Amino acid sequence: MADYMRDEDEQAELLKEWWQKNGTAAIITVVLAVAALIGWREWQGHQGEQSSEASKQYQVMVEALTAQQVDEAAVNKQAEALKDDFPGSAYADYASLAQARLAVQAGEYDKAASLLQGVADDGATDALTYTARLRLVRVLLQQQAYDKAAAELDHSFPAAFNGMALELRGDLAKARDDQQAATEAYTQALETLQDNGEKDRVQMKLDDLKS
């Protein structure tokens, strides 16, 4: 028991000496750690609130876009709000895609190309980048801007987008009256695409070349 008590006394003295030397620093470290934890939780909460608000605004835009009678003014207003409030986010990119869709429907191809180019160059996700790039190619083909379309198609595409890219390469070759290149691209697209509807569309294009 005496040995145990002596050890307790020695440990207490050592602890006292350590505290005199390091107590202030220890307190500061603990305070900073707690502050960082609280800050992190507040930041997470803020991010959650931001995401929830963006989701609500996005839903309003989608409802206006998919209504039986599309309210273009409402779509554009909500799209601009998303881009202003959540720049660099996927929601902002979706807003640009929605505006580009309306621009194409209105025949405003320069506006559509500009909106799509922004997402194609700096999309929030790879999927958005590839989606915007393929849609941009369709607009460029409509504008007969074949060199620009070819430059966009020179980018590599992952498997999920490669079939669509091959179809567009076929469209570009056909527009340039290169039937052989178009046939090859459409044939490769048929081998790559998984969706039957898309394959049927490409098959029709291929059959049209042969007729």
Say if residues 150 and 166 touch (Cβ distance below 8 Å).
no
pLDDT score of 1 more than 50: no
Distance CA 54, CA 60 (A): 10
* pLDDT at residue 156 tops 90: yes
Quote the CA–CA distance of 83 and 181 in Å, as a whole number. Answer: 40
Name the one residue in this structure whose structure tokens are 């194609």: 120
User: CA 116 to CA 145: how far, in whole Å?
Assistant: 15
How far, in Å, CA of 173 to CA of 170, rounded? 5
In angstroms, rounded to a whole number, what is the distance separating the alpha carbons of residues 78 and 58? 8
Average pLDDT of every residue of the chain: 82
pLDDT of residue 210: 82
C-alpha to C-alpha distances, 161 to 1, 26, 165, 203, nearest whole angstrom: 77, 55, 6, 18
In this predicted structure, the answer to whether residue 31 has a pLDDT above a threshold of 50 is no
The 3-state secondary structure of 160-205 reads HHHHHHHHHHHHHHHHCCCHHHHHHHHHHHHHHCCCHHHHHHHHHH
pLDDT, tens only, 35-93? 555 454 543 444 444 567 788 888 888 888 888 888 899 989 999 999 999 898 898 99
CB within 8 Å of 77: residues ≥ 6 apart: none
Q: What is the 3-state secondary structure (H, E, C) of 100-125?
A: HHHHHHCCCHHHHHHHHHHHHHHCCC
Secondary structure of residue 71 in the 3-state scheme: coil
Q: The whole model's pTM is what?
A: 0.75
